[in-house]
Structure formats: structure tokens, C-alpha cells
Structure 1
């Protein structure tokens, strides 16, 4: 079974960005033009752009277009972040918190309903 059209389109755009067809700072074609080129609906083209935007390869701005990012921001979990998240899961305070222990303790007693 083949992957969905938007994933295939995203893969082709991703490889075009990585091989320099669309260099950093250059605009990608408009959604209408991409939809015609790949023979897909405009919504499918939007989904493909949303996928590569979530990877940090492009910036999509309404009325300005889609621009290839100068330095792609890869959003991968590094080993140090993974270790700190594992440690945070075993502690009693949430990560990046300087407040009370998690879950917060009750400061007063609650009477049971009769």
C-alpha cells in the first residue's frame, strides 16, 4: 500500500529543498501551482506544506508565501533531552517548575458529603 498523496508530495518537496532545487531563503511555488504540478487538491498541497513546516524546513506566512528556512531546524530528541525527560518523569516536580511538589498538596481538609 502506498503512502498518502500529501506524504509523497512532502517527501518530494523535502528532497528538492535538501538537494538545493529550492535554496535557503527562496520562495516555494504557491499552493495553487503546487496542486496543479502534483495533480492534487489544494488541501492536499496545504497538508504537505504543513508537514515540512512542522519539520522546520520552511516558514509559511499568509499572504507572503512559503519560504525555505536559511538553516533548517531539525526537531529531533537529543540524548541529553531524553535523559532529562526520563529523570523528570521519576521526580515529584514537573519539568521546568519551581513551584510546589506535583501534584499540589491540599492545604485544607475537605469534609466528605453526607
Structure 2
């Protein structure tokens, strides 16, 4: 997926992360890149990357652990999330 810099970035970044989760690039239980890493990868500010990550979490695909990172939910976790 290519990024269109003429449109809002955070929904596009969220879509890329969701696609990576769905295609197994980020498998269940795995830690995904930090907000800073996502911001650097896409050339955006941290707040834009944070908004994208919040959107992915709102989809019920990830969980965050304070000080530990963000992890892809396992199928058994999504049933109760």
C-alpha cells in the first residue's frame, strides 16, 4: 500500500498496520513497532503515529502494556476483548 501525502496520514498508517497484522507480518502475540518507530518509518510526527496506533487498538487487534509495548491480540484474546 502506498501512502498518499495529500490525505490524512494516520488512517493510511493504521490501514498498513492492520494489513500487516492480517497478513501475518505481525503475528498474534508479537510485539509491534513503537510509536517512535512507526513515526520514523512513515516520516510523520509521533502524535500522528500515536493516533494510527489508537485506531488499530480501537479495532480490537492490539493491546498495550504500560512500559512494555503494544502486542497483537491472539484469537482467544479477541473473543473477550
* The two structures share one fold, judged by TM-score above 0.5: yes
Give TM-score, length-normalised by structure 1.
0.60
Structure showing the higher strand proportion among its residues: 2
1:3 Cα deviation after fit: 4.1
Alignment match of 2:12 (pick from 8, 13, 17): 8
Q: Which has the higher contact order (CA 8 A, sep 6+)?
A: 2
Figure out how many residues of one structure are paired with residues of the other and give that number. Answer: 74
Greater CA radius of gyration, 1 or 2? 1
The RMSD of aligned alpha carbons is 1.9
Matched, 1:47 2:51: yes
Measured in 1, the distance between the counterparts of 2:33 and 2:72 equals 11
**Structure number having the greater helix percentage:** 2
Structure 1 alignment gaps of length 5 or more: 75-114
TM-score (norm 2): 0.83
Q: Does 1:63 align with 2:67?
A: yes
